Amino acid sequence: MRIGMFALLACGLCWGQTNSECKPSSLNIPGAPYPCVHPDRSVTFRVSAPDAQKVQIRLGGAHDMTKGADGLWMVTIPPQVVGFHYYSIVVDGSVTSDPATRTFFGSGWDNSGIEIPEPDADAAYYSAKDVPHGQVSQRWYYSRVTGKWRRCYVYTPPDYDASSRNRYPVLYLLHGWGENEQGWHIQGHVDFIMDNLIAEKKAKPMLVVMDNLNAVKPGEDASLYAARGIIARATMADVAPAGGGRGTPPAGGRGTPVAGARGGFPTNWGGVFTDMMFSDLIPMVERTYRVLPGRENRAMAGLSMGGMQSFLTVLGNLDKFAYLGGFSGSSGGRGGFDPKTSNNGVFADAAAFNKKIRVLFLGIGSVEGPGTKTFSEDLTKAGIKNVYFESPGTAHEWLTWRRCLNDFAPRLFK
């Protein structure tokens, strides 16, 4: 904590003014000097709350702010891990976003976000470069399975519009719990990652389809399902609004916890999404875009809960996919793996499985714990070929998942 303490003391010198060494986060609203990131990656926040008794920043944990003579609250928090982090402010018990930053949908609401910059060279793969650029398109389509209009985003590679005949393989890529179909192109920089990989000929040109993993059948209460599947933990927080750390949703404006939700998810979650994907999403994509047909040209991956959904969908439908990725989320890692029975026995015949799934990718941040590595080792012992990727020094956060995609995409469709 010595570095953090030093930063805290050092900030006394810059009280009420911008320290030129402290760079505004790239996610701030235009013109906002705070939050800013110091060279040692400590972060100074400033919030206006003239009549408040207590103001905190919640990033990793709760950090008390101090009110200055000008009525503005400030705090400098210890050095942070590089990458994208959700955070919130707490003003006299009210958990909300910091108006000085853009907001990002995570944990079921629009959190503030901060980007702790990496050295330019490390960040290059997810930054805009002078290479041909693809585009990310917002696409609305009607789902017969859910009885509702749905929105997905589709990355098309740089040469998609120029060549009117080329057909492309497709990666279906999912966000995580409490996020939505915008996560990958806003927090994830999917377009820059793919543009750069394609320009360097590391990855094949492909479409990336990013949908919302929430899906309920007609007549089901969508908000009820949301409370069960997506904001179950949020509703727990409703009961104890003062608790929780980073990304904890605020109380107020939520339903009550739903009986029957176990571990945050209803027992039947994921099935409706799989049905929707095969009945509505994939047919829409294959009807609308110039894509290559068949399982050899179809991959699915996701982060966290989206990784769990990808394993659920693909392992139950090996005739439809040849590539599978879980970024900080899969079907394993929680112990009790038995190749004969786990996942309905899909791993029982290793040779048959290896013939079907050409790449099975398991990515994780090194700070996230050993579960995924154990799962990878269990699979290897059972003869299941897989790729284990570990992002050094990152946790359950978007930088881990950007790195996962950057490692995963070049392995596809080859």
Question: CB-wise, 97 or 394, nearer to its own copies?
Answer: 97
Give the start-end residues of each E strand in 196-251.
207-210
Binding residues for its own copies, rule CB under 8 A, total 78
Is residue 164 close enough to count as binding its own copies by CB under 8 A? yes
Question: CB-wise, 222 or 348, nearer to its own copies?
Answer: 222
b/e sequence 234-256, b meaning 16+ C-beta within 10 Å: bbbbbeebeebebbbbbbeebee
CA-CA distance, 311 to 314, in Å (whole number)?
A: 5
| 114-143: contacts with its own copies (CB under 8 A) | 128, 130, 133, 135-142
Q: What is the full DSSP assignment across 172-201? A: EEE--TT--TTHHHHTS-HHHHHHHHHHTT
Q: Do the strands 170-174 and 298-303 form a parallel or antiparallel pair, or are they unpaired?
A: parallel
- Three-state secondary structure string covering 36-59: EECCCCCEEEEEECCCCCCEEEEE
Question: CB-wise, 5 or 131, nearer to its own copies?
Answer: 131
Tell me how far, at minimum, the Cβ of 169 lies from its own copies, in Å: 17
| 174-193: contacts with its own copies (CB under 8 A) | 185, 191-192
Tell me how far, at minimum, the Cβ of 306 lies from its own copies, in Å: 16
Question: CB-wise, 165 or 340, nearer to its own copies?
Answer: 165
Tell me how far, at minimum, the Cβ of 240 lies from its own copies, in Å: 11
Site string for its own copies, 50-89 (x = CB under 8 A): xxxxxx----------------x----------------x
Question: CB-wise, 135 or 366, nearer to its own copies?
Answer: 135
Site string for its own copies, 242-271 (x = CB under 8 A): x------xxxxxxx----------------
Tell me how far, at minimum, the Cβ of 141 lies from its own copies, in Å: 7
Tell me how far, at minimum, the Cβ of 359 lies from its own copies, in Å: 28
Is residue 230 close enough to count as binding its own copies by CB under 8 A? yes
Helices vs. strands in the chain: H and E counts, helices first? 13, 19
Residue type, 188: G
Question: CB-wise, 286 or 407, nearer to its own copies?
Answer: 286
Question: CB-wise, 175 or 358, nearer to its own copies?
Answer: 175
With vertex at residue 169, the alpha carbon angle to CA 350 and CA 384, rounded to the nearest 5 degrees, is 10
Q: Which two tokens stand for residue 363?
A: 């990515």
Tell me how far, at minimum, the Cβ of 383 lies from its own copies, in Å: 42
Tell which one of 5, 48, 147, 380 touches its own copies (CB under 8 A): 48
Site string for its own copies, 270-299 (x = CB under 8 A): ------------------xxx---------
Long-range (24+ apart) CB contacts under 8 A made by 222-227 are 222/148, 223/255, 224/255, 224/258, 225/266, 226/108, 227/254, 227/255, 227/256, 227/257, 227/258
User: Is 333 in a helix, a strand, or coil?
Assistant: coil
Is residue 109 close enough to count as binding its own copies by CB under 8 A? yes
Question: CB-wise, 195 or 368, nearer to its own copies?
Answer: 195
Is residue 161 close enough to count as binding its own copies by CB under 8 A? yes
Question: CB-wise, 61 or 252, nearer to its own copies?
Answer: 252
Is residue 330 close enough to count as binding its own copies by CB under 8 A? no
Residue with tokens 């059972």: 382
Is residue 17 close enough to count as binding its own copies by CB under 8 A? no
> In a 10 Å sphere around its CB, with 0-12 CB exposed, 13-18 middle and 19+ buried, how is residue 298 labelled?
buried
CA-CA distance, 200 to 198, in Å (whole number)?
A: 5
Is residue 92 close enough to count as binding its own copies by CB under 8 A? yes
Question: CB-wise, 150 or 396, nearer to its own copies?
Answer: 150
DSSP letter at 25? P
